Amino acid sequence: MRSIISITDLTLEEIEHLIAVARDIIVHPERYSAVCRGKKLATLFFEPSTRTRLSFEAAMQELGGTVLGFSEAQSSSAAKGESVADTARTVSCYADIIAMRHPKEGAPMVAAQHATVPVINGGDGGHNHPTQTLADLLTIHMEKGRFDNLTVGFCGDLKFGRTVHSLITAMARYPGVRFVLISPEELKVPSYVKIPLKANNITYIQTTELREVIPELDILYMTRVQRERFFNEADYVRLKDSYILTPDKLTNARDDLSIMHPLPRVNEIPVAIDRDPRACYFKQVLYGKYIRMALIMMLLEVTK
């Protein structure tokens, strides 16, 4: 039995396999419509979610399986004080695989240590979000056809952004990748994320200026400043509008720039950008379903 807690739990070969399967599902969905018949996915979401939870549910249903679970901690026995370990053991009696989101870093790891079925981390605090990273990687592969020799800009909340941390970790394994880290000083990428970059001589720069670096980018990964991660409301209010991607800021960007965002957005990408052919964030949403289908199949060891 195997769980996926971090993107590094997958080898590069496994990621390539998942992308190949996801691309085949996109073209031939009918081949996969019954591969998980009789299987059950439990979605244990202790924190609010729209895309991750619903895409997991849609993924399992489109594979022919069924779904059970909860969408907030208050509708589970966690409200009565039940531990994550006991919840995982209990739900293992009812489901074949678990997708879990939790506001505390490390909670899905605890669940995986006590569950008797595979556990997929659907996001834990400001730490990891491996299936969003897989959705991001599929988007990049669909848009660019490769992962190597790309300049990737991350903009916004790089301190608490678990999607940013996971994607940096994933992309750092490919040759010729360069990172441009754009954020206020208070929201810079944590040291633990940068340590592997330095150790492996991966090029990165840190800046507070989006407009100056946007001409260099193959990919611009925007993020929202996350109110729920702040302990001080005044700090959130001061930083929340640090980066807003207005059309004029794209004037000098490359014609083949890919604009990505894990969503939800607040105001950092105005709806006017949605009409720009370089906008890829709603493609990410759709690709998230397909890559989760491929991952569920891998962990349940089912084939078409």
> What CA–CA distance (Å, rounded) separates 170 from 4?
14
> What CA–CA distance (Å, rounded) separates 268 from 242?
8
Q: Is 37 a catalytic site residue? A: no
> What CA–CA distance (Å, rounded) separates 291 from 26?
10
Candidate list 40, 43, 52, 223, residue with the active-site label:
52
Candidate list 39, 40, 53, 101, residue with the active-site label:
101
Cα 19 to Cα 142, 160, 168, distances in angstroms: 9, 27, 18
With helix as H, strand as E and coil as C, how does the chain read?
Answer: CCCECCHHHCCHHHHHHHHHHHHHHHHCHHHHCCCCCCCEEEEEECCCCCHHHHHHHHHHHHCCCEEEEECCHHHCHHHHCCCHHHHHHHHCCCCCEEEEEECCCCHHHHHHHHCCCCEEEEEECCCECHHHHHHHHHHHHHHHCCCCCCEEEEECCCCCCHHHHHHHHHHCCCCCCEEEEECCHHHCCCHHHHHHHHHCCCCEEEECCHHHHHHHCCEEEECCCCHHHCCCHHHHHHHCCCCCCCHHHHCCCCCCCEEECCCCCCCCCCHHHHHCCCECHHHHHHHHHHHHHHHHHHHHCCCC
Q: Is 304 a catalytic site residue? A: no
Q: Is 80 a catalytic site residue? A: yes
Candidate list 23, 51, 194, 254, residue with the active-site label:
51
Candidate list 127, 129, 224, 240, residue with the active-site label:
129
Q: Is 101 a catalytic site residue? A: yes
Q: Is 165 a catalytic site residue? A: no
Is the four-CA dihedral 221, 225, 230, 232 of positive or negative sign? positive
Structure tokens at 119: 């556990």
Residues with a known catalytic role: 51-52, 80, 101, 129
